[in-house]
Amino acid sequence: MASQHNTTTPTATTTTTTARTTMTASGIRTYTLDELRFLKAQMQQQIFADRPLLQGPREDPADVFVTNEVDLSHIDAFGFDYDYTLASYNNELQALIYQLAAQSLINNNKYPAECANLQYDPNFAIRGLHYDVKKGLLMKIDAFQNVQLGTVYSGHRPLDDDETRRIYNGVHIPLEYMHSFMPQLTDLFSLPEACLLANLTQFMHDTQLPFHPEYLYMDVAHAVSEVHSRRQMHLEVIRNVGHYVHPSPNLENLLSTMRQHGKKVFLLTNSSFSFVNVGMSHIVGPHWRDLFDVIVVDALKPRFFNESRPFRQFDTTLNSMTWTKVSRFARGGVYCHGNSLDFARITGWTPGRVMYVGDHVLSDLQDPSRKHGWRTGAIIRELDEEITILNSPEHHQSLTWLLNLQRLIKKLQHVQHHEKHSLLRAWQAEKNEVSAHLKDMFNPQFGSVFRTFHNPTYFAHRMSRVADLYTSDVCNFLRYSLDHTFYPQRMYLPHEPAPRRDDQGFFKCGP
């Protein structure tokens, strides 16, 4: 980065300025321009010196992270979604969904045949983006409904900051507009949808075909939905399960350990039995049904948590549903549809002592958490890669410089000098450059799934409100005993001073 080699800034060895400071009437410590230039040079020299990079604080990508206190000894039953929770897929599945949806648009909606040549890019989009159906723009929004500048795309063309501000009269998106015209792409199946929207938008611009972005979104969303509802994707995965599904050697151990410790274990998924059966047989073995006390397929979440559709038993031999009323769940039996109220009545499990783990913020976590009092865990696959980046020396170095630069800018604003404003603009430009570099480390178009420049993303905010725990892989729970209590870190408000830590990471009083 250019900011690492700023030759116009005085260095600690060339300046003779002393560190004189004064106090304003309000008690704010102030510096002169020369003192701040000198302090900045010292910091740059320390952070970007040509010596082995120091490693910053590290997080373990396999940890379980906590937003709300959970005592596992108080959990009687653990439930799991299937797709992207028990079963982990590779990018080949994303490409398959994309190809099937694109072909559907050509066959059923008469899109130009050339659209079949538009390739899926697994590195283009991230989870949690919003799509403006009125303006045809794909973007990332933070927890306060502000657009992250530099992440707004019309097709594959990035909008500059001035254009974004002009379109939205600033960067804030009113909640009513978001709810009405800006659907959020929240699960990993939506990545092909985002790429297809961008590719088709760019194709329409390049070929000068007239189109309305709302119709384009409706067609693409319907095509992607049909890939699931018509089981096209399922049939291909069933034919070649090893090509799409990652192995999970610890999954059987996780489920067996829970049952051995007296916990009930259930599967609750929107996928069909035939699809789940092939996948679980591949991951665990043909005996996989013995690991669950209750198995519910075709659950139609989130309707499962909001409607009164009855359960029906599924005959795995005849591959069809039976007609008898479901009044109890038999071990190893398979059930379809159903609803959360009947589930609680039949099992007798107390809602507050049930934990459900899934990957989809809306269909898996929101309603069981808010409406039914279940405890919830989110499986966020992106955590593994993002934490690896956060732990890298390059990220630690750049973030340290950004935070120090922001403090320098804060102090510079209190200086009374006619040259202050030009220096302030230069430092703010440098701050923006470092922020952009940090964003690009995660994804050049949209940055991190969890963070905008300063705030959590809209996706991270929603996830933290409905998930008590989150982690990158369901088998990470094996690292903890089943009487473990997860405590969230205290979140400090801007006016609250954080206590100091010693070398072992414990809090202490004093310097």
Q: Which of 362, 380, 398 is the last residue of a domain?
A: 380
**Residue 143 structure tokens:** 């927890």
- Residue 361 DSSP class: I
Domain that holds residue 26: 1-51+383-448
Residue 458 lies in a domain: no
Cα–Cα–Cα angle for 452, 488, 257, rounded to 5 degrees: 110
**Residue 174 structure tokens:** 């009113």
Report pLDDT digits (tens) over 163-206. Answer: 999 999 999 999 999 999 999 998 767 899 999 999 999 999 99
Annotated binding residue 81: yes
Is 162 known to be catalytic?
no
Q: Which of 331, 356, 380 is the last residue of a domain?
A: 380
73 Cβ contact list (under 8 Å, min separation 6): 482, 483, 485
How many Å from the N-terminal Cα to the C-terminal Cα in the chain? 34
Q: What is the pLDDT of residue 9?
A: 41
Q: Which of 83, 219, 364, 468 is catalytic?
A: 83
Q: Which of 348, 363, 380 is the last residue of a domain?
A: 380
Q: How far apart are CA 400 and CA 432, in angstroms?
A: 14
Please count the residues of the chain.
Answer: 511
Domain count, the chain: 3
Among candidate residues 38, 32, 102, 90, the one with its CA nearest the CA of residue 244 = 90
Residue 475 lies in a domain: no
Residue 215 lies in a domain: yes
Cβ atoms of 38 and 448 within 8 Å: the answer is: no
Residues in the chain predicted with pLDDT less than 50, given as ranges, are 1-20
Q: Which of 50, 81, 160, 162 is catalytic?
A: 81
Residue 155 lies in a domain: yes
Q: What is the pLDDT of residue 57?
A: 66
Residue 468 lies in a domain: no
Report pLDDT digits (tens) over 360-376. Answer: 988 899 999 999 999 99
Cβ atoms of 279 and 82 within 8 Å: the answer is: yes
Are residues 218 and 163 located together in one domain of the fold?
Answer: yes
Are residues 390 and 376 located together in one domain of the fold?
Answer: no
Are residues 72 and 107 located together in one domain of the fold?
Answer: no
Q: How far apart are CA 191 and CA 382, in angstroms?
A: 12
Are residues 374 and 424 located together in one domain of the fold?
Answer: no
Are residues 204 and 191 located together in one domain of the fold?
Answer: yes
Is 81 known to be catalytic?
yes
Domain of residue 362, CATH code:
3.40.50.1000
- Measured in degrees and rounded to the nearest 5, phi and psi for residue 508 equal -145, 160
Among candidate residues 384, 371, 382, 369, the one with its CA nearest the CA of residue 467 = 369
The DSSP result for 126-139, as a single string, is: -TTEEEETTTTEEE
Are residues 97 and 235 located together in one domain of the fold?
Answer: yes
245 Cβ contact list (under 8 Å, min separation 6): 87, 88, 89, 90, 237, 279, 282, 283
Residue 498 lies in a domain: no
Are residues 387 and 374 located together in one domain of the fold?
Answer: no
Q: Which helix (H) or strand (E) holds 70?
A: strand 70-71
Are residues 143 and 218 located together in one domain of the fold?
Answer: yes
Q: Which helix (H) or strand (E) holds 481?
A: none
Residue 511 lies in a domain: no
Are residues 27 and 146 located together in one domain of the fold?
Answer: no
**Residue 411 structure tokens:** 């102090």
Are residues 357 and 261 located together in one domain of the fold?
Answer: yes
Q: What is the pLDDT of residue 500?
A: 76
Q: What is the pLDDT of residue 215?
A: 96
Are residues 362 and 261 located together in one domain of the fold?
Answer: yes
Annotated binding residue 83: yes
Annotated binding residue 384: no
Are residues 131 and 218 located together in one domain of the fold?
Answer: yes
Residue 421 lies in a domain: yes
Q: How far apart are CA 383 and CA 450, in angstroms?
A: 9
